[in-house]
Copies of this chain bind each other. A is one copy, B any other.
Amino acid sequence: MRIPLDRQSLIPLYKQIENYLRDNILSGSLEADTRLPATRAMAKDLGVSRITVQNAYMDLESEGLIYNREGSGAYVMPALSLPKRGVKSETAWPLWQQDLKTDVLSPRFSPQVLNPSHPDLIAFTGVGDPQHFPLRDFYKALQTVIRTEGIDALVYGEFDGGYPPLRETIAHVLASQGIQADPGQVLITSGSQQALSLVCQVLLKPGDAIVVEDPTYNFALELFRSLDFKIVGVPVDKGGMQVELLESLLQQRHPSLIYTIPNFQNPTGACLSGVRRRQLVALADCYDVPILEDDFAGDLRYDGRAQPALKALDTVGNVIYVGTFSKMLMPGLRIGYLVADGPVFDALVDCKRVHDLTTSNLLQRTLNVYVSVGRYQSHLRRSSRIYRQRRDAMLDAIREHLPEDVLVYPPDGGLFIWMRLPGGLSATDLLSLALQKGVSYAPGAWFTLDPQDGERYLRLNFATQPLERIRKGIRRLGAALRRCMVPQV
């Protein structure tokens, strides 16, 4: 075999031989099962040492391009085993990829919302105000952990529920909210979203029914849709989920889970009344249905009396409580937790383990140092004071700058104001105009079971912007709204 060799090249000779053979094998010039020259013969042909040829053959063999038959030499590997080399064709993905069900999730994140072009956009979206995240205190806690715990903080950590001291701290925080939780019943999760996911995966299978408030938290809806659940909506009023309508749904639809956000519901801001709380817990008991209580912002109350958590009313083990530090501290931590009693707890622990083993041990320990020194409580009080002012400022600005026939639902706490536009207007359509004016919000269609039902609504986060930007943003929204309402002549 004549192989062109360049003896001046920086590429070693054995590599040149190897490259030549590889190219010819992959292009098909050297056909399957062709016998290659014996190393001794090839070496003589090319005027190189036998070792050089052997090196080339060894590489090709280890790449799977040639194979050796005992005592008979080296052969080109048959075609089945060789991938066709070529540019990937964008239109011809494998069949299994073409069959993928990719329409589960609605296209909720339009590029517009994600990448708005306005240079000074006022975003009434997101969770808490990053400016108030306790960066310095948290950083100190991180230093403490790394200094005092060192590598202990960097191993996997506990596989059976999370870092024990953090579970105790959470139990203490919950006790102050009237929830008696044994630290052994607290499971640390990668944000509260994972807690929702674990409960769904342990308790439901595709096709099972789940009861939710309509409207409800958009990422919960996406989760339920992606898992192919039948989603059954219960309307929401000022007093939260209309529990009076629930019993007939339980009888007719036999749901496997009731998902509820009793405090400052996302997106409506409604708070479930005390009466309904007791009714809901009693119905769950009566119809043997678990409740998933998502308390994402229950400690952010600005007015009125605190209501007992459903978990505090549950005496039999029907309620799984989910909480988070993302809204009050910082979303970038991704630490949430759930509290569950009974056999379901161990099933949730197992489920967590198989899906992501553990939640960052370093962050669990840091959070524990931060929360347990009482900084969390004072941060909470400070945030509540600030957010309360912002809520009031936004409500004032709405009264001042938006048309009278805009309907708002003033919340007693949390992060959100839910708003209904005047008849005939679509919040989805309004959004592009609003973005042009420099203000954004979450359109109601993201939150309703039937997007059509949410068209007239939008959700404003009042917690993320300082007072003057709240007023400016609502003025911009008013301007966008008036342009939308100009009668088309």
- Give A residues with C-beta under 8 Å from B: 59, 61-65, 67, 77, 80-86, 88, 92-98, 100-102, 104-105, 109, 114, 126-127, 130-131, 133, 135, 138-139, 142, 146, 150-157, 159-160, 189-191, 193-194, 197, 202-203, 205-206, 219, 222-223, 226, 256, 273-279, 281-283, 285-286, 288-290, 305, 307-308, 313-318, 326, 330-334, 341-344, 346-347, 350-351, 353-363
Contacts and interface: CB of A to CB of B under 8 A. Distances in A.
Interface centre among A126, A331, A354 (most CB of B within 10 A): A354
Given A84-B315, A88-B317, A153 B354 contact: no
Contacts of A84: 315
B102 A346 contact: yes
Contact of A190 (B131, B190, B362): B190
A228 B326 CA distance: 33
A401 to B, nearest CB: 28
Given A77-B275, A222-B354, A96 B142 contact: no
A169 to B, nearest CB: 18
Contacts of A206: 205
A156 B332 contact: yes
A279 B331 CA distance: 45
Given A64-B275, A316-B88, A94 B285 contact: yes
A64 B316 CA distance: 19
Contacts of A154: 130, 133, 135, 138, 330-333
Given A94-B288, A226-B350, 14 more contacts: A64-B273, A64-B278, A77-B275, A88-B341, A92-B316, A97-B344, A101-B347, A102-B347, A139-B146, A151-B330, A156-B332, A190-B334, A193-B354, A332-B362
Contact of A357 (B159, B219, B316, B356): B219
A219 B358 CA distance: 12
5 contacts: A83-B316, A93-B342, A94-B318, A100-B343, A219-B357
A276 to B, nearest CB: 7
Q: How many copies does the complex hold?
A: 2
A80 to B, nearest CB: 5
A205 B153 CA distance: 36
A238 to B, nearest CB: 14
Interface centre among A109, A333, A360, A361 (most CB of B within 10 A): A360
A276 B85 CA distance: 17
Given A85-B315, A278-B77, A331 B155 contact: yes
Given A62-B273, A305-B59, A332 B361 contact: yes
A280 to B, nearest CB: 9
A350 B105 contact: yes
A270 to B, nearest CB: 15
Contacts of A159: 109
Nearest to A340: B97
The 9 A-B residue pairs with the shortest CB-CB distance in the complex, in nearest-first order:
A64-B274, A332-B361, A64-B278, A154-B330, A64-B275, A154-B332, A130-B151, A194-B356, A223-B354
Contacts of A226: 350-351, 354
Nearest to A350: B105
